[in-house]
Amino acid sequence: MTDSQPTNRRILLVDDDKDALQILGDLLHSRDYATVTAMDGHEALARFHDDGPFDIIVLDVMMPGIDGLEVCRRLKASPQGILTPVLLVSARSDTRSRVAGLYGGADDYMSKPIDLREFAARVDALLRVRDRYSVLAERRTQALEAALTDGLTGLLRGGYFLRRLAEEILRADRYKLKLAVLVVDLLGLPEPDAEAGDDFDEPTEFDRTFAGPADRLVTAAGEAMATNTRAGDLTARIRRSRFAVLLPHTPRRTVRGIIKRIEAAVATVPADPARPDGPEAGLSVKIGHAELGKKMDAAGLMARAEPG
């Protein structure tokens, strides 16, 4: 059979019986679901990885070659398939077969001959579960980004930066790699409306009180710093107008070049970041740097990088 035209919902149908594929495909198409079909386990795996993602997989158990149970296990072992609902269908209706299918990773199981009304209801139920998974996954991603990302600049938060720094120190010690850190103080900003904290904590009152042109300049300067480092370098705002840059695998001569690029980029930040062709804000930076030494931890390395 030919695959149906794309819609918002995509379902992978797998069965070695052409008539079964046609019947189920027609039913799903009538409900405005798109279908992609496969007639054996090898094709199912290829379709899943090449034509995905899918909202649900309907999988016949008894097929030549790789049977449906093995296909289900392989799909559920993959990052793409772990949250994709699988509905197994089989001519076997005994309890042992059902239990084997569910323990094999399936989210639901139906016996042949298939009642089409029940099939439609089960598909709808699995899609509702899929939608809930998607909402929860999106909320988790948003929460993780909020936990790691500075709300003002979009750079890393100070606490996460220190954790990553500790990890990179362990890696550098183990493999005898170069490691450097920059601590960057941004100068020339308007004074904030209220005093902010000085610790490596998550931003608190500063994000609410450092308003007006100053917050836009901090954001623009942070972006200038991040875009003038290399892929793999980490840039964070650790407090107020202080930033830090982690430079893994970086020799001294490369550090000097990065410092010069940051100084030049910040100096050209416009007074109004919304008007890049306007006059410059007159910002500058005071940069301290340090290279990892023997028996040095994250706190010690940051202290050594304190701008003089």
Q: Could you read off the pLDDT tens digit of each residue along the chain, which spans 308 residues?
A: 445 444 578 999 999 999 999 999 999 999 999 999 999 999 999 999 999 899 999 999 998 888 889 999 999 988 888 889 999 998 887 778 778 878 888 899 999 899 999 999 999 999 998 888 788 878 877 777 778 898 889 999 999 999 999 999 999 999 999 999 999 999 999 775 544 444 444 444 444 444 568 888 999 999 999 999 999 999 999 988 999 999 999 999 999 999 999 999 999 999 998 888 899 999 999 999 999 998 899 999 999 999 98
Distance CA 101, CA 107 (A): 9
Domains contained in the chain, number: 2
Residue 200, domain extent: 156-304
Per-residue CA distances from 252 to 47, 256, 285 (Å): 50, 6, 19
DSSP string, 105-168: T-SEEEESSPPHHHHHHHHHHHHHHHHHHHHHHHHHHHHHHHHHB-TTTSSEEHHHHHHHHHHH
Domain shared by 167 and 141, yes or no: no
Q: What is the CATH number of the domain that holds 67?
A: 3.40.50.2300
Task: Confirm whether 2 is domain-assigned.
Answer: no
Distance CA 13, CA 256 (A): 58
Task: Confirm whether 1 is domain-assigned.
Answer: no
Single pTM value for the model: 0.56
Distance CA 67, CA 63 (A): 5
Tokens for 6, please give them: 């794309």
Tokens for 156, please give them: 């890393």
Domain shared by 160 and 300, yes or no: yes
Domain shared by 113 and 195, yes or no: no
Which of 145, 172, 190 corresponds to the end of one domain? 145
Distance CA 226, CA 93 (A): 60
Task: Confirm whether 151 is domain-assigned.
Answer: no
Domain shared by 39 and 139, yes or no: yes
Domain shared by 125 and 161, yes or no: no
DSSP string, 212-225: THHHHHHHHHHHHH
Which of 87, 113, 145 corresponds to the end of one domain? 145
Domain shared by 298 and 199, yes or no: yes
Task: Confirm whether 239 is domain-assigned.
Answer: yes
The residue type of 46 is: A
Distance CA 27, CA 13 (A): 12
Per-residue CA distances from 131 to 7, 110, 134, 137, 230 (Å): 16, 21, 5, 10, 38
Domain shared by 199 and 280, yes or no: yes
Domain shared by 70 and 92, yes or no: yes
Phi, psi of 267 (to 5 degrees): -65, -25
Domain shared by 162 and 298, yes or no: yes
Domain shared by 193 and 136, yes or no: no
Distance CA 223, CA 269 (A): 10
Which of 145, 165, 182 corresponds to the end of one domain? 145
Domain shared by 33 and 132, yes or no: yes
Domain shared by 189 and 236, yes or no: yes
